[in-house]
Amino acid sequence: MTSSNQRASWRVWIAAAAAVAVAAVLPRPDVTAQAPGSIPDISGVWDSTTRSHPTNSEKIPWGKENFPELNERALAYQKVFDEAISPKYDCQPSTPPAIEFDPYMLEITQMKDRVVFTYEKDDQVRTAWLDGRKPTILDIGVQGFSTGRYEGNALIVETDHFVFDITGFDDYNGIPSSPQKKVTERYWREGQELRFTVTVEDPMFLRKPTSYTSRYLPGPKGYKLVKFDCDPEASRAMIKFLPPKYK
C-alpha cells in the first residue's frame, strides 16, 4: 500500500471512530415519543372551585340528563346509606368520579412517561402512566391504577383496579362503587380553559355507563397547593352534628 493510500485509510478510520464517539454521547432518539407539537399542554395549576363550576350537591354534576341508572343492588345500598358511615369522616379521600369535581385546586404535571395529578383535597396524587406498564396486585387501591395516552388534542386516562368503596360513586347520593369500576377521563384545552369528561362504568351497581363534562380555569399566578392535612380526630368529631338516620 502506498503512503498516500495509507494516509487516506487512516483518515477514514479516524472519521469513523469520531462518529462513533459522538453518537455515544448524544441522546438517543425516543422512537415511542410523539412528534413535536402533537402533545397538548395541560400542565399547570388549575382551579376546580366554584369559580369554575357549581359546587357538589345531589344534582351536580349529576342531573336528570345524566343521573346514573342504578340497578337493584345500588338502590338497596342507597336506601340504607347513612351519612355517618361515610369514610370521609375517617379521612379516606374521594375517588373518581368525584375527586375530579371536588371544589379545590389541583396541579397537573406532564412528564415523558407519566402525567401526575396532584389534588389539594386530601393531598391526593394520581399517576397516569404513559409507558405501557401493567398493574400488579399492589396497585389495587382507592384511586385505582391509571394509564394514559394522547389522542389528537386530548389526554385520555383510563383507571381500574379499585377497591370497594361505600361512597365510591359519590357520597352526596350514597352510591357505592365496586372493584369492577372503570373510569375514563378525557382532558383537552379550549382557550384558557381545561375541559374534561369523566365516564364511569360499574356493572356491579350501574345498568349502563354514565358521564359528566366540566371545566377547570387557570389557577392564580404563582399559586402553590395548600396542604390539606386531614385530622382523623377532628374529622370524626363532625359525626355528632349529623342528624341520625337510625336509632
Cα(108)–Cα(188) distance, integer angstroms: 13
Q: Could you tell me which of 114, 136, 134 has the C-alpha nearest to residue 126? A: 114
pLDDT of residue 37: 55
Closest CA to 47 of 93, 107, 123: 107
Domains of the chain, residue spans = 44-223
Q: How many CA atoms lie within 13 A of 95 on its CB side?
A: 32
Q: What is the pTM of this model?
A: 0.83
> What one-letter code names the amino acid at 77?
Y
List per-residue pLDDT tens for the chain, 247 residues long: 444 444 444 443 444 444 334 333 333 333 334 444 579 999 999 999 999 999 878 788 999 899 999 999 999 999 999 999 999 999 999 999 999 999 999 999 999 999 999 999 999 999 999 999 999 999 999 999 999 999 999 999 999 999 999 999 998 889 999 999 999 999 999 999 999 999 999 999 999 999 999 999 999 999 999 999 999 999 999 898 998 888 7
pLDDT at residue 27 in the model = 39
Contacts of 244 by beta carbon, 8 Å cutoff, 6+ apart: 82, 84
Closest among 141, 144, 136, 146 to 114, alpha carbons compared: 146
pLDDT at 246: 83
The CB density around residue 88, as the number of other CB atoms within 10 Å, is 16
Query: CA–CA separation, 219 vs 10, rounded Å?
Result: 62
What is the pLDDT, as a whole number, of residue 77? Answer: 96
Query: Which DSSP string corresponds to 141-171?
Result: BTT-EEEEEEETTEEEEEEE-BPPEEEEEET
